[in-house]
Structure 1
Amino acid sequence: MISDPWFYAVAIPAVLITAISKGGFGGGLGLLGVPIMALIIAPQQAAAILLPILCLMDIVGIWSFRGKANRHALQTLLPSACIGIIIGALTFRYFSADSIRIIVGLIAVTFSLNFWLKPKNSTPKKPSRLRGSFWGTIAGFTSFGVHAGGAPLNAYLLPLKLEKYDYVGTSIIFFSSINFIKLVPYTFLGQFTYETLSTAAALAIFAPIGVLLGVRLHHKIPDKWFYQICYAFLFIMGLKLLFDAF
């Protein structure tokens, strides 16, 4: 197990931020987990430590938002996300973490600015299998390397303007599915070691605490402010990723 106290000084807040975001805001700030932990350790090791913790968060999140999800969106997004995960696993050794950060960061910043600058009376976009399949594939690919699937997923989900319960429930089921799927290629690629798994176990206690706190905050925030906060999270994490990459 990692014994460096400075690692836990950043890892515990990273896990809590990720859990709160997943429990109440669709995972927007969850993308900051790996970059924050990567201040002390390698990004690949940070991703391996965080993945089992994310799976634990997902279990708590599914229970909290059970029955709340957009079935059509999931039927479109999940199959394409599996394709993205396969692409990520096959190209794992060829893409640097920074190149993935740039892709995701640009998506996040662009869609946030589009939300703030476009006319406020715009109507929700209709579900589209073509757009959903495209963003689902990108989400699966970027999620595999640095757990950065939130921005591509939001690029499809947020313009649909779902009810906030459906939006968060859909996000939780989507990421729960792909996180558990990612356990297989992570294992075959040798990402899980005794050190990473024991460190993940030590941090796991903060996962349900953060998710349940996020659920409570979710119930207290009106729909109007909910989407403003989600896009703000999307913009912040985009800037953070671009800053880290450059």
Structure 2
Amino acid sequence: MITDPLFYLFAIPAVLIVGISKGGLGGGLGLIAVPLMSMAVSPFQAAAIMLPILCVMDLVSMWGFRGNYDRRNLVILLPAAVLGIGIGALSFQYLSESHIKLIIGVIALLFTANFWLNKLRRRVPRKTQADTLKGSLWGTLAGFTSFSVHAGGPPMNIYLLPQQLDKTLFAGTTVIFFAVINYVKLVPYTLMGMLESGNLLTSLALMIFAPIGVYTGIWMHKRINENLFYLLCYGLLFLTSLKILVEGFNELLL
């Protein structure tokens, strides 16, 4: 078990932020945990420590948003995400974390930049519908990036946000999606030896902050205007894509 106070200085805020995001903001900030915790431990150890915590958050979030989900989108997304997890597990030894960050960062940045450009031009974003081809593509990418660095939020948001779902329906759909893929990830993480006793004990020490963060997010969700909610989601997606890009470039140059 990790006993370094510096680690917990980064880990506790990371768990709270991710919990708030999963509880009411569509899970878009889930990718922040690994970079923050990587200030004190390796990214791969940070990912292993976060996975059991994410699984607990998912259970709390599913209870908070029970009965609210878009069935059509989940039918499209979930099989694709499981495929993406399989691809991530098989290619884990060949792709570095920096490469994955650059891929997802570029895609998310271009998408959000287009949204804000349309806002400046005062264009109303065209509402889209659930689409098998697009959903399969983004679902696979979400599973792939989620496997390595728990960064499935941006691909998921890129696909779901243009549909302009009711904010509670949107949040409930993402909650179920991430719950399924996080529990699926337990299998390859265990087989690869990433969930060893030291990491699990560290996860257990941080577990108390999981429900605190999620219930805070649920409380915030019920009090945020729907237009503000979507603006916030696009804003968070833009900021996190910038963060991922900077980290990816820095890691490749070092």
TM bucket, shorter chain: over 0.9
Give the partner amino acid of 1:160.
Q
Give the partner amino acid of 1:158.
L
State the alpha-carbon separation in 2 of the partners of residues 209 and 148 from structure 1.
22
> Over residues 163-217 of structure 1, what are the superposed CA-to-partner deviations in whole Å (9 max), with x where a residue is unaligned?
0001000000000000000000000011111110000000000000000000000
After superposition, residues 67-146 of structure 1 pair within 5 angstroms as 67-118=67-118, 119-146=122-149
Q: 1:230 aligns with which of 204, 225, 233?
A: 233
Unaligned runs of 5+ in 2: 250-254
State the alpha-carbon separation in 1 of the partners of residues 11 and 129 from structure 2.
39
Q: Does 1:50 align with 2:50?
A: yes
Aligned-pair identity in percent equals 54
State the alpha-carbon separation in 2 of the partners of residues 65 and 120 from structure 1.
32
After superposition, residues 196-235 of structure 1 pair within 5 angstroms as 196-235=199-238
Q: Which runs of 4+ in 1 moved over 6 A?
A: none
So what's the TM-score if we normalise by structure 2? 0.95
Q: Which secondary structure does the structure 2 equivalent of 1:39 belong to?
A: coil
State the alpha-carbon separation in 2 of the partners of residues 100 and 76 from structure 1.
23
State the alpha-carbon separation in 2 of the partners of residues 77 and 180 from structure 1.
15
Give the partner amino acid of 1:175.
F
Alpha-carbon deviation of 1:3?
A: 0.7
Q: Which secondary structure does the structure 2 equivalent of 1:122 belong to?
A: coil
After superposition, residues 161-200 of structure 1 pair within 5 angstroms as 161-200=164-203
So what's the TM-score if we normalise by structure 1? 0.98
| Aligned counterpart, 2:8 | 8
State the alpha-carbon separation in 2 of the partners of residues 219 and 192 from structure 1.
35
Number of equivalent positions: 246
Q: Does 1:244 align with 2:247?
A: yes
Alpha-carbon contact 2:98-2:247 (below 8 Å) kept: yes
State the alpha-carbon separation in 1 of the partners of residues 21 and 217 from structure 2.
6
Alpha-carbon deviation of 1:112?
A: 1.0
Unaligned runs of 5+ in 1: none
Give the partner amino acid of 1:2.
I
